[in-house]
Amino acid sequence: MKIKHIRPYLKHLPLTKPYTIAYNTFTDVELVFLEIELEDGTIGLGSASPAEEVVGENSKQTLGNLQSEFVQNLIGRDIRHFQQIIFEAQNHFPNLPGTLAAIDIALHDAFGKFLGISISDFYGQKIKSLPTSVTIGIMNVEETLKEAENFKQLGFRILKVKTGHNVEEDIERVRKIHEKYGNGLKVRVDANQGYDVNDLLKFVRNTEKLGLELIEQPIPVGKEKDLMKIDTDIRQILCGDESMKNPKYALKFAAEPKPFGIYNIKLMKCGGLKGAFEIATIAQNAAIDLFWGCNDESIVSITAALHTAYCCPNTKYIDLDGSFDLAEDLVSGGFTIEDGYLKINKQAGFGYQKLG
């Protein structure tokens, strides 16, 4: 079955409310979508939400790449050769993970629909479902506790608390959550490169009895060697995020002594499913757990990440709440939420349906 049409476009979507991390405040998001239509009318849909401050690519650049002659020349190619097409796209668009993610996801979705099989079934689903964390941005203690209660009432039991502005305030916020909820809410922390090693050690010493699940990207990219000053048991709960852009970095940080005991995989950093599986394989062979994250994204790419995560046996954590923040989306379906657990619907491709 051949590709008949390719349609990229950009959508500007508002968030339900602004949120703050260590280096920015967000109120909306620009998402790029890519439709790949086959001869029989089947449409595969991909999406990209690149974070320019992390990968050096923004949505407008992604759109321009998807409008290029290279992408339009994919018309007439056989969808059964989708993995070869992804390989060629990787060679043509090196270091452009947003562009690659949109192409990769759209091709997978079209292929799965053509074959009549979900992508998780195609690769082999290893994990049935996991609970996702939901994110609390940087805010004061009172607002943090209010957000925590709202999420608890919605059935979520794992919080990811953004930190990195002030270590004393960060300690106070997670302490207050623990005082109020005890083991009723698990807490993960994401410093978004906001600490140095001294801040990190101070944070760890003052929260070690609170049972934090993990600490994501505590120090700036390029300072990973500084983590060697920290005990191994602490490094086991450190998760590389901005440091973990692609398989090359996964291999680099897999060597002993490891700075991170956990790898964060985002399709928007590694360029889609192909890159994600490469990182996952490296991590599995190095006995490193996987944590699947996201930006503010459409259900399209969140569902793609979920399928990929559930096909990797070393997946331990998911933080795939990016579509919850959108005031509107272009699709529905893909997955369901039950008491905080994300379950894919097993329909052909990624199982989402375009609205309208």
Q: Single out the residue in 82, 98, 116 at which a domain terminates.
A: 116
Torsion of CA 149, 151, 157, 162, to 10 degrees: -90
Are the CB atoms for 193 and 219 separated by under 8 Å? yes
The answer to whether 47 and 32 have CB atoms below 8 angstroms apart is: yes
pLDDT at res. 271: 98
CATH number at residue 200: 3.20.20.120
What pLDDT does residue 72 have?
Answer: 97
Same domain, 67 and 132: no
Q: Tell whether 87 and 201 lie within a shared domain.
A: no
With vertex at residue 260, the alpha carbon angle to CA 147 and CA 133, rounded to the nearest 5 degrees, is 20
Together in a domain, 43 and 139: no
How far is Cα 341 from Cα 160, in angstroms, rounded to an integer?
Answer: 15
Domain count of the fold of the chain: 2
Phi-psi region of 95 (alpha: psi -120 to 50; beta: other; left: phi over 0): left
Under 8 Å between Cβ of 120 and 346: yes
Among candidate residues 71, 92, 116, the one where a domain is terminated: 116
- Alpha-carbon distance of 200 to 78, in angstroms, equals 51
Omega prior to 18 cis, within 30 of 0: no
CATH of residue 50: 3.30.390.10
Residue 89's domain spans which residues? 3-116
How many residues are present in the chain? 356
Q: Quote the DSSP letter at residue 237.
A: T
Under-50 pLDDT residues of the chain: none
- For the entire predicted model, the pTM comes to 0.96
What's the pLDDT at 37? 98
φ, ψ at 325 (rounded to 5°): -80, -10
Local structure of 39: helix, strand or coil:
coil
Considering the domain architecture, whether residues 101 and 193 belong to the same structural domain is answered as no
Q: Do 105 and 159 share a domain, yes or no?
A: no
Tell me, yes or no, whether 142 and 271 share the same domain.
yes
pLDDT of residue 19: 66
Say what the pLDDT of residue 285 is: 98
| Count of CA atoms in the C-beta half-sphere (13 A) of 187 | 28
- Is residue 21 located within the same domain as residue 144? no
Q: Is 69 helix (H, G, I), strand (E, B) or coil?
A: helix
Same domain, 316 and 332: yes
| Co-location of 288 and 201 in the same domain | yes
Token pair for 173: 């916020």
- Co-location of 133 and 261 in the same domain: yes
Q: What is the pLDDT of residue 205?
A: 96
Q: Are residues 34 and 128 in the same domain?
A: no
- Domain final residue pick, 116, 140, 163: 116
Q: Are residues 346 and 220 in the same domain?
A: yes
